[in-house]
């Protein structure tokens, strides 16, 4: 399975570059076809950060009580996450330290899609494509 950290490491090159970018990593376990998207942080002040929450609540009152901040993302940072929404107006992404959490869609710009699939020789090939 393609490591989320490896995908995040190549994310900046995939967002800034044009065309097709190929990623290769050796894997120990068999992987199934997966899809992830790149997200770039936007609408955040240069001296601030975006909070990555454990799970978004339905109302703003519950956001600070049960669903605390578990990680952060910095302005302009690129990360990976699920292409589908985790909840209405929320995206499931990986924070700066690699913790999976949720951010509001107004603060992230969806980038190209990353698809990984297993080949016969035990390596995982991933490609990015525009969405």
| Extents of the domains making up the chain | 4-129
Q: For the domain with range 4-129, which CATH number is right: 3.40.50.720, 3.80.10.10, 3.30.70.600, 2.30.30.40?
A: 2.30.30.40
Write down the number of H helices and E strands in the chain. 2, 9
pLDDT of residue 114: 86
pTM of the model: 0.59
Q: What is the enclosing helix (H) or strand (E) of 58?
A: none
Residue from 24, 39, 18, 22 nearest 92 by CA:
39
Count the neighbouring beta carbons within 10 Å of the beta carbon of residue 90: 18
| Rounded Cα–Cα distance for residues 63 and 101 (Å) | 13
The 8-class DSSP code of residue 6 comes to H
**CA 104 distance to own-chain centroid:** 13
- Does residue 128 carry a pLDDT above 60? no
Q: Binning pLDDT at 50, 70 and 90, where does residue 115 land? A: confident
Question: Where is average pLDDT lowest: 10-24, 59-73, 87-101?
Answer: 10-24
């Amino acid at each position: 399975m393609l490591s989320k950290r490896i995908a995040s490491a190549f994310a900046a090159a995939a967002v800034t570059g044009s065309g097709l970018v190929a990623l290769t990593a050796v894997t120990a376990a068999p992987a199934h076809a997966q899809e992830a998207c790149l997200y770039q942080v936007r609408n955040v002040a240069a001296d601030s950060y975006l909070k990555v929450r454990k799970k978004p609540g339905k109302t703003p009152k519950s956001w600070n009580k049960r669903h605390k901040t578990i990680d952060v993302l910095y302005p302009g940072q690129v990360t990976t996450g699920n292409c589908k929404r985790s909840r209405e107006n929320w995206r499931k992404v990986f924070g700066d330290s690699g913790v999976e959490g949720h951010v509001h869609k107004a603060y992230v710009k969806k980038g190209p899609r990353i698809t990984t699939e297993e080949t016969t020789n035990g390596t995982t090939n991933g490609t990015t494509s525009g969405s």
